[in-house]
Chain A
Amino acid sequence: MSELVIKDLHVTVETDDGTKEILRGVDLTITSGQTHAIMGPNGSGKSTLAYAVAGHPKYTIPSGSVTLDGADVLDMSVDERAKAGLFLAMQYPVEIPGVSVSNFLRSSLTALRGEAPKLREWIKEMNEAMKEIGMDPTFSERNVNEGFSGGEKKRHEILQLELMKPKIAILDETDSGLDVDALRIVSEGINRTVERNNTGVLLITHYTRILRYVKPDKVSVFVDGRVVATGGQELAEELEANGYVKFSKATAGA
């Protein structure tokens, strides 16, 4: 049983006009085997939350805490966070010229498992995982994300999720840009991971359509750098019908 606890998290970035506060006191807990959906308008700080928890150097954390089973995540380097069991599927995965998918995945699993997977077993493992997520085996020889379509990049993120078996995964708009079939396949991948590895998932999304496949245990509304409401699936339906207006007002009045 694992638990990622985010408490009163404040995050700033340096801009040309000085320091800008993006997260303004986020409280969230993500638990093994549970899926927690987060919905919020563009620019509300959802990706910032994901990056800050994963440790992107661009963000500064003036106050607040993030712990994974009691260990201080903010004190860890980016790779240590991954080794501790955190995973981030990125909204915009980065291209890495000249580094093949298979070399990348093998380097990653070698680091996470503490030893290099045996070559033959590794190839089998990778091919099976690629098949499950509907990626052609030829992708293993292509450079990481280079020339991948939007949907292919998202599948590649979920492929990594399945291979890396994290304790806690943050999925940042993994459903954006997917066609109907890809959405189903990617959702199945997420469900498999939760089932097989008891992963806890923070699912950032704009649409309820993924929530038809990946059933959230909780839904939170994220506005203007903080969580403003939390409920069940019915909250997602309401957001889709009425938008965020009500919640934006609530923050403005608070």
Chain B
Amino acid sequence: MSSALQEKEILFKSTDARPDRIASSNPDDFLVPNGREEEWRYTPLKRVGNLHNDAKAEQDINYEIVAASGITHSILSRDEVKTKFLATDRISSRTQSLWNKALVIDIPQELETKDLTWIKIDIKSGVQYGHIIINAKAHSKATIILEHVGEGIAGINCEIIADVNSSIDFITVYDLARKGVIVSEHQFVINKDANIRSLVVQLGGDVVRYVPRAKFSGNHGAVELLGVFLATNGQFFENRVFVDHNMKDCKSNVLYRGGAQGEGSHTVWVGDVLIRKIATGTNTYEMNRNLLLDDGARADSVPNLEIETGEVEKAGHASVTGRLDDDQLFYLMSRGIDEPTARQLVIEGFFSGIFGEFTHPELKERLNERLNAAIERSHK
């Protein structure tokens, strides 16, 4: 116990954890949560298949990859992988200590491709753990899509490391079957002049908990963390975003739009941005907009901005949760449009533009198809 404590103290100083949080690859450094901790207060721990406690791996993750030409990938065992990944909560650290096979994707230096790279993970029933590393070398440019489907229970972490002047679009889709469960921590590391645009889409599954954490390893980096989620029929979707401005003149933009409908449906968005003393010239904005489609659904939204330096270029945050507007529905219906179609139009309108920056036609179409299917499910 005392050795674990000591390790924690060292980690405090040397890692990217929040000053009030620990980062460790050893699950024993984290107490088994009981649901009263700030970190876990919203998560329905009864529904996560014991990922937080003692769930053993019943099989390995099966990664299916279709890579753009020039991008290499390999499936490696623990002793073949070098990683500095330090988890920041109990499930993430259990995942980190329990995976057997990792997927490593390398985007070689100066490779620029418009072609898409798809990673598809079908989470089979039972419990499984995985780890993904995406290495974007200097001056590279690529788009990676990580899609999750299936009906099982999984803890999967991911590291996205963008080297100098690289530019990565990274899209994560959670569209599991109704009883699927996934808990993921994604860590983004952005080097000098590099740029990551990420988008997470949560539409299917019983419980999805997503913890994206971004930090910089050089000045003048930029990161965008975008998200779209729609919880219906009692689904639970949680996003805990952390952006660590630990370098000068970096930019971050966090924009999440979510909807919730139906008894017991619940979405959570917690956005933490920390601007450290050293991070002068920071430009950051975070925003969460939620649309509640009926009285049974709930959305929690907690933006939080901590500024330790006086020399910030721009820093703002906002959170708005509204209800589907009777007057909008009435206006559409008074023009002959039936109620389900009117609702569909208003919801689509609310989400419109969120995929706007991801212009690749195939990608855009796939995302729109998934979103529209989820909106349609919400009418039933």
| A contacts, CB < 8 Å to B | 54-58, 77-79, 81-83, 87-88, 90, 93-99, 103-104, 107-109, 111-112, 143-144, 160, 164
Contacts and interface: CB of A to CB of B under 8 A. Distances in A.
Given A57-B330, A98-B348, A99-B348, A108 B353 contact: no
Nearest to B338: A79
B78 to A, nearest CB: 47
B337 interface: yes
A77 B335 CA distance: 12
Given A56-B330, A57-B326, A104-B332, A99 B346 contact: yes
B331 A82 contact: no
A83 B335 CA distance: 8
A55 B335 contact: no
Contact of A108 (B337, B350, B352): B337
Contacts of A104: 332, 335, 345
A99 B345 contact: yes
21 contacts: A54-B330, A55-B330, A57-B326, A58-B326, A77-B339, A79-B337, A82-B334, A93-B331, A94-B327, A96-B328, A96-B345, A99-B346, A99-B348, A103-B345, A104-B332, A108-B336, A108-B337, A109-B336, A111-B336, A111-B341, A143-B349
B349 A98 contact: yes
A124 B343 CA distance: 28
Contacts of A95: 328
A78 B330 contact: yes
Contacts of A90: 331
Contacts, number: 83
Contacts of A109: 336
What 5 A-B pairs are tightest by C-beta distance, nearest first? A98-B349, A98-B352, A108-B335, A82-B336, A78-B333
Contacts of A81: 334
B335 A160 contact: yes
Contacts of B327: 94
B334 A55 contact: yes
A94 B349 contact: no
B351 interface: yes
B118 to A, nearest CB: 28
What size tier do the contact residues of chain B reach? 20 to 34
A152 B327 CA distance: 19
Nearest to B350: A98
Given A96-B346, A97-B350, A107 B333 contact: no
Interface in B307-346: 325-328, 330-339, 341-342, 345-346
A90 B333 CA distance: 13
B325 to A, nearest CB: 8
A159 to B, nearest CB: 12
A122 to B, nearest CB: 15
Contacts of B353: 98
A97 B337 contact: no
Contacts of A103: 345
B336 A94 contact: no
B276 to A, nearest CB: 36
Given A58-B326, A107-B341, A99 B349 contact: yes
A144 B334 CA distance: 14
A54 B327 CA distance: 12
B65 to A, nearest CB: 35
Nearest to A113: B336
Contacts of A55: 330, 333-334
Contacts of A112: 335-336
Contacts of B333: 55, 77-79, 82
A104 B327 CA distance: 15
Nearest to B344: A107
Contact of B351 (A56, A78, A98, A164): A98
